[in-house]
Amino acid sequence: MNKKFVVFTDLDGTLLDYYTYSYEASREGIELLKSHDIPLIFCTSKSYAEVIYFREKTGNNSPFIVENGGAIYLPPEQFEQFNRLKQLERLEHVDGYSALELGASYDRIRQVFKEMKREFKDMLTGFGDMTVEEVSRYLNLEPSLAAMAKVRRHDEPFILKDPSLLERVKQFSQQNGLKVYPGTRFYHLMGNTDKGVAVKELVSLYRTVYAEIIAAAVGEGKNDEPMFRQVDMPYLVKKPDNTFTDVALDRIVKIDGIGPYGFTLAVKALLAEA
Ligand SMILES: [Mg+2]
Protein backbone atom coordinates (compact mmCIF):
# COMPACT_ATOMS: atom_id res chain seq x y z
CA MET A 1 0.00 0.00 0.00
CA ASN A 2 1.87 3.10 -1.13
CA LYS A 3 -1.01 5.57 -0.86
CA LYS A 4 -2.25 7.09 2.38
CA PHE A 5 -5.82 6.11 3.18
CA VAL A 6 -8.03 7.95 5.65
CA VAL A 7 -11.47 6.71 6.70
CA PHE A 8 -14.28 8.94 7.92
CA THR A 9 -17.12 7.34 9.82
CA ASP A 10 -20.48 8.34 11.19
CA LEU A 11 -21.07 7.14 14.77
CA ASP A 12 -24.80 6.72 15.56
CA GLY A 13 -26.18 3.81 13.55
CA THR A 14 -22.86 3.21 11.77
CA LEU A 15 -19.83 2.64 14.01
CA LEU A 16 -22.18 2.34 17.00
CA ASP A 17 -25.32 0.23 17.16
CA TYR A 18 -28.40 2.42 16.64
CA TYR A 19 -30.15 1.19 19.81
CA THR A 20 -27.40 0.17 22.23
CA TYR A 21 -24.41 2.31 21.11
CA SER A 22 -22.31 -0.85 21.25
CA TYR A 23 -19.30 -1.05 18.94
CA GLU A 24 -18.86 -4.79 19.43
CA ALA A 25 -19.60 -5.53 15.77
CA SER A 26 -17.40 -2.72 14.43
CA ARG A 27 -14.43 -3.61 16.65
CA GLU A 28 -12.95 -5.94 14.02
CA GLY A 29 -13.04 -3.16 11.43
CA ILE A 30 -11.54 -0.67 13.91
CA GLU A 31 -8.67 -3.05 14.70
CA LEU A 32 -8.07 -3.80 11.00
CA LEU A 33 -7.65 -0.08 10.30
CA LYS A 34 -5.27 0.29 13.26
CA SER A 35 -3.17 -2.62 12.04
CA HIS A 36 -2.89 -0.92 8.63
CA ASP A 37 -2.10 2.45 10.21
CA ILE A 38 -5.15 4.03 8.59
CA PRO A 39 -6.63 6.97 10.56
CA LEU A 40 -10.31 6.52 11.51
CA ILE A 41 -11.91 9.94 11.74
CA PHE A 42 -15.20 10.24 13.60
CA CYS A 43 -17.59 12.51 11.71
CA THR A 44 -20.78 12.77 13.70
CA SER A 45 -23.65 14.89 14.95
CA LYS A 46 -22.54 13.99 18.48
CA SER A 47 -21.08 16.65 20.77
CA TYR A 48 -17.41 17.18 21.56
CA ALA A 49 -17.73 15.59 25.02
CA GLU A 50 -19.44 12.47 23.63
CA VAL A 51 -16.81 12.06 20.94
CA ILE A 52 -14.00 12.33 23.51
CA TYR A 53 -15.73 9.55 25.45
CA PHE A 54 -16.02 7.23 22.42
CA ARG A 55 -12.47 8.00 21.24
CA GLU A 56 -11.16 6.85 24.61
CA LYS A 57 -13.37 3.75 24.61
CA THR A 58 -12.26 2.69 21.13
CA GLY A 59 -8.61 3.74 21.53
CA ASN A 60 -8.86 6.32 18.75
CA ASN A 61 -6.31 9.14 18.47
CA SER A 62 -7.23 10.62 15.08
CA PRO A 63 -8.66 14.08 14.35
CA PHE A 64 -12.47 14.26 14.65
CA ILE A 65 -15.46 16.21 13.41
CA VAL A 66 -18.34 17.04 15.77
CA GLU A 67 -21.90 18.35 15.55
CA ASN A 68 -22.52 17.71 11.86
CA GLY A 69 -19.43 19.56 10.69
CA GLY A 70 -19.64 22.32 13.31
CA ALA A 71 -15.95 21.95 14.13
CA ILE A 72 -12.84 19.91 13.38
CA TYR A 73 -10.56 18.97 16.29
CA LEU A 74 -6.92 18.01 15.87
CA PRO A 75 -5.13 16.19 18.68
CA PRO A 76 -2.05 17.97 20.04
CA GLU A 77 0.30 15.19 18.94
CA GLN A 78 -0.91 15.58 15.36
CA PHE A 79 -1.66 19.20 14.58
CA GLU A 80 2.02 20.08 14.23
CA GLN A 81 2.03 18.13 10.97
CA PHE A 82 -0.77 20.20 9.52
CA ASN A 83 1.34 23.21 8.61
CA ARG A 84 -1.41 25.01 6.79
CA LEU A 85 -3.66 24.92 9.81
CA LYS A 86 -1.14 26.74 11.93
CA GLN A 87 -1.60 29.69 9.62
CA LEU A 88 -5.35 29.73 9.95
CA GLU A 89 -6.49 32.65 12.04
CA ARG A 90 -9.70 30.98 13.06
CA LEU A 91 -7.93 28.27 15.03
CA GLU A 92 -9.21 27.89 18.60
CA HIS A 93 -7.52 26.00 21.40
CA VAL A 94 -9.85 23.76 23.38
CA ASP A 95 -8.62 21.37 26.10
CA GLY A 96 -5.29 20.96 24.34
CA TYR A 97 -6.90 20.33 20.94
CA SER A 98 -6.68 22.69 17.98
CA ALA A 99 -10.18 23.39 16.78
CA LEU A 100 -11.30 24.79 13.48
CA GLU A 101 -14.84 26.06 14.05
CA LEU A 102 -16.96 25.95 10.90
CA GLY A 103 -20.46 26.33 12.30
CA ALA A 104 -22.43 29.13 13.95
CA SER A 105 -22.16 29.62 17.71
CA TYR A 106 -24.63 27.81 19.94
CA ASP A 107 -25.78 31.12 21.43
CA ARG A 108 -26.80 32.37 18.00
CA ILE A 109 -28.49 29.06 17.16
CA ARG A 110 -30.47 29.05 20.41
CA GLN A 111 -31.54 32.63 19.82
CA VAL A 112 -33.01 31.71 16.41
CA PHE A 113 -34.46 28.50 17.84
CA LYS A 114 -36.39 30.44 20.48
CA GLU A 115 -37.82 32.70 17.77
CA MET A 116 -38.80 29.58 15.82
CA LYS A 117 -40.59 28.16 18.84
CA ARG A 118 -42.64 31.33 19.12
CA GLU A 119 -43.39 31.34 15.38
CA PHE A 120 -44.48 27.70 15.37
CA LYS A 121 -46.32 27.77 18.68
CA ASP A 122 -44.09 25.41 20.64
CA MET A 123 -44.19 22.59 18.07
CA LEU A 124 -40.40 22.29 18.48
CA THR A 125 -38.40 21.00 21.44
CA GLY A 126 -34.62 21.35 21.44
CA PHE A 127 -31.88 19.79 23.55
CA GLY A 128 -31.55 23.17 25.26
CA ASP A 129 -35.18 22.87 26.46
CA MET A 130 -34.85 19.29 27.69
CA THR A 131 -33.58 17.97 31.00
CA VAL A 132 -30.77 15.42 31.15
CA GLU A 133 -33.43 12.81 32.03
CA GLU A 134 -35.48 13.65 28.93
CA VAL A 135 -32.46 13.50 26.62
CA SER A 136 -31.46 10.24 28.31
CA ARG A 137 -34.91 8.77 27.61
CA TYR A 138 -35.12 9.97 23.99
CA LEU A 139 -31.63 8.75 23.15
CA ASN A 140 -31.71 5.63 25.30
CA LEU A 141 -28.45 6.89 26.79
CA GLU A 142 -27.22 6.55 30.35
CA PRO A 143 -27.58 9.93 32.15
CA SER A 144 -23.83 10.67 32.19
CA LEU A 145 -23.73 10.38 28.38
CA ALA A 146 -26.98 12.33 27.99
CA ALA A 147 -25.39 15.17 29.97
CA MET A 148 -22.47 15.11 27.51
CA ALA A 149 -24.88 15.11 24.56
CA LYS A 150 -26.55 18.27 25.89
CA VAL A 151 -23.33 20.32 25.80
CA ARG A 152 -23.62 21.77 22.29
CA ARG A 153 -21.36 24.28 20.60
CA HIS A 154 -22.59 24.53 16.99
CA ASP A 155 -25.83 22.63 16.54
CA GLU A 156 -29.23 22.26 18.22
CA PRO A 157 -30.89 18.86 17.83
CA PHE A 158 -34.67 19.17 18.05
CA ILE A 159 -37.95 17.31 17.82
CA LEU A 160 -40.62 18.63 15.45
CA LYS A 161 -44.01 17.53 16.78
CA ASP A 162 -45.80 18.28 13.50
CA PRO A 163 -43.63 17.05 10.58
CA SER A 164 -45.88 18.88 8.08
CA LEU A 165 -44.26 22.12 9.31
CA LEU A 166 -40.82 21.05 8.11
CA GLU A 167 -40.69 23.19 4.94
CA ARG A 168 -41.78 26.31 6.80
CA VAL A 169 -39.30 25.62 9.60
CA LYS A 170 -36.54 25.26 6.99
CA GLN A 171 -37.53 28.56 5.39
CA PHE A 172 -37.54 30.34 8.73
CA SER A 173 -34.05 29.06 9.56
CA GLN A 174 -32.75 30.12 6.11
CA GLN A 175 -34.10 33.61 6.59
CA ASN A 176 -32.01 33.73 9.75
CA GLY A 177 -28.82 32.46 8.13
CA LEU A 178 -29.09 28.94 9.55
CA LYS A 179 -30.27 25.63 8.17
CA VAL A 180 -32.19 22.54 9.25
CA TYR A 181 -30.92 19.07 8.52
CA PRO A 182 -32.31 15.62 9.41
CA GLY A 183 -30.00 13.50 11.57
CA THR A 184 -30.38 9.91 12.71
CA ARG A 185 -32.91 10.69 15.45
CA PHE A 186 -33.48 14.44 15.40
CA TYR A 187 -33.61 17.42 13.14
CA HIS A 188 -30.64 19.71 13.62
CA LEU A 189 -30.54 23.50 13.48
CA MET A 190 -27.06 24.65 12.56
CA GLY A 191 -24.89 27.15 10.73
CA ASN A 192 -23.88 27.03 7.10
CA THR A 193 -21.85 23.83 7.35
CA ASP A 194 -22.32 20.09 7.13
CA LYS A 195 -20.26 16.91 7.38
CA GLY A 196 -19.10 17.45 3.78
CA VAL A 197 -17.70 20.93 4.43
CA ALA A 198 -15.64 19.58 7.34
CA VAL A 199 -14.48 16.45 5.48
CA LYS A 200 -13.35 18.55 2.52
CA GLU A 201 -11.36 20.83 4.84
CA LEU A 202 -9.71 17.95 6.69
CA VAL A 203 -8.87 16.04 3.48
CA SER A 204 -7.18 19.16 2.13
CA LEU A 205 -5.17 19.38 5.37
CA TYR A 206 -4.08 15.76 4.94
CA ARG A 207 -3.06 16.60 1.38
CA THR A 208 -0.60 19.15 2.77
CA VAL A 209 1.14 16.29 4.60
CA TYR A 210 0.78 13.33 2.22
CA ALA A 211 1.18 13.54 -1.55
CA GLU A 212 -1.57 11.07 -2.31
CA ILE A 213 -4.59 10.75 -0.05
CA ILE A 214 -7.44 8.40 -0.71
CA ALA A 215 -10.42 9.21 1.47
CA ALA A 216 -13.18 6.73 2.29
CA ALA A 217 -16.34 7.27 4.33
CA VAL A 218 -18.83 4.97 6.02
CA GLY A 219 -22.32 6.13 6.98
CA GLU A 220 -25.97 5.15 7.08
CA GLY A 221 -28.01 8.36 7.25
CA LYS A 222 -29.18 11.24 5.12
CA ASN A 223 -26.79 13.61 6.92
CA ASP A 224 -23.91 11.43 5.71
CA GLU A 225 -24.60 12.30 2.06
CA PRO A 226 -22.47 15.51 2.06
CA MET A 227 -19.62 13.46 3.58
CA PHE A 228 -19.97 10.80 0.87
CA ARG A 229 -19.73 13.45 -1.85
CA GLN A 230 -16.30 14.58 -0.62
CA VAL A 231 -14.56 11.21 -0.59
CA ASP A 232 -13.16 8.81 -3.18
CA MET A 233 -14.70 5.69 -1.67
CA PRO A 234 -18.16 6.15 -0.09
CA TYR A 235 -19.69 3.14 1.69
CA LEU A 236 -23.35 3.08 2.70
CA VAL A 237 -24.34 0.59 5.40
CA LYS A 238 -27.87 -0.50 6.26
CA LYS A 239 -30.24 1.13 8.74
CA PRO A 240 -31.63 -0.93 11.65
CA ASP A 241 -34.71 -1.83 9.55
CA ASN A 242 -32.41 -3.58 7.03
CA THR A 243 -32.94 -0.92 4.32
CA PHE A 244 -30.67 1.71 2.80
CA THR A 245 -31.10 5.46 3.10
CA ASP A 246 -31.80 7.00 -0.29
CA VAL A 247 -28.49 8.57 -1.33
CA ALA A 248 -28.32 10.46 -4.63
CA LEU A 249 -24.78 9.48 -5.54
CA ASP A 250 -24.15 6.99 -8.34
CA ARG A 251 -20.76 5.82 -7.11
CA ILE A 252 -21.97 4.94 -3.60
CA VAL A 253 -21.00 1.38 -2.60
CA LYS A 254 -23.81 -0.37 -0.74
CA ILE A 255 -22.71 -2.74 2.00
CA ASP A 256 -25.04 -5.58 2.93
CA GLY A 257 -24.78 -5.20 6.70
CA ILE A 258 -26.59 -3.16 9.33
CA GLY A 259 -24.67 -0.39 11.18
CA PRO A 260 -21.51 -1.65 12.89
CA TYR A 261 -21.69 -5.04 11.12
CA GLY A 262 -21.70 -3.14 7.85
CA PHE A 263 -18.83 -0.97 9.09
CA THR A 264 -16.54 -3.99 9.47
CA LEU A 265 -17.61 -5.28 6.03
CA ALA A 266 -16.91 -1.84 4.52
CA VAL A 267 -13.40 -1.82 6.02
CA LYS A 268 -12.77 -5.26 4.52
CA ALA A 269 -14.04 -4.06 1.13
CA LEU A 270 -11.77 -1.02 1.38
CA LEU A 271 -8.71 -3.09 2.30
CA ALA A 272 -9.44 -5.49 -0.57
CA GLU A 273 -9.10 -2.52 -2.94
CA ALA A 274 -6.18 -0.90 -1.14
MG1 LIG B 1 -25.99 7.99 11.72
Question: pTM of this prediction?
Answer: 0.92
Say if residues 247 and 225 touch (Cβ distance below 8 Å).
yes
**DSSP-derived secondary structure for 67-93:** GGGTEEEE-HHHHTT-HHHHT-TTEEE
Query: What spacing in Å lies between the alpha carbon of 238 and ligand 1's midpoint?
Result: 10
Q: Which amino acid does the sequence have at 59?
A: G
Query: What spacing in Å lies between the alpha carbon of 193 and ligand 1's midpoint?
Result: 17
In the chain, residues under CATH classification 3.40.50.1000 are 4-103+194-273
SS3 36: coil
**Which pLDDT tens digit goes with each residue over 4-59?**
999 999 999 999 999 999 999 999 999 999 999 999 999 999 999 999 999 999 99
**Which pLDDT tens digit goes with each residue over 137-160?**
988 889 999 999 999 999 999 999
Residue 40, number of CB atoms within 10 A of its CB: 24
Query: What spacing in Å lies between the alpha carbon of 83 and ligand 1's midpoint?
Result: 31
- Which entry of 10, 12, 17, 194 is annotated as an active-site residue? 10
CATH code at 4-103+194-273: 3.40.50.1000
Measured distance between the N- and C-terminal CA atoms of the chain, rounded to whole angstroms: 6
Q: Is 211 exposed, middle or buried (0-12, 13-18, 19+ CB in 10 A)?
A: exposed
Q: Which amino acid does the sequence have at 34?
A: K
10 among known catalytic residues = yes
In the chain, residues under CATH classification 3.30.980.20 are 106-190
Query: What spacing in Å lies between the alpha carbon of 88 and ligand 1's midpoint?
Result: 30
Query: What spacing in Å lies between the alpha carbon of 16 and ligand 1's midpoint?
Result: 9
Query: What spacing in Å lies between the alpha carbon of 45 and ligand 1's midpoint?
Result: 8
SS3 16: strand
As assigned by CATH, the class of the 106-190 domain is alpha beta
Say if residues 225 and 197 touch (Cβ distance below 8 Å).
no
Q: Is 255 exposed, middle or buried (0-12, 13-18, 19+ CB in 10 A)?
A: buried
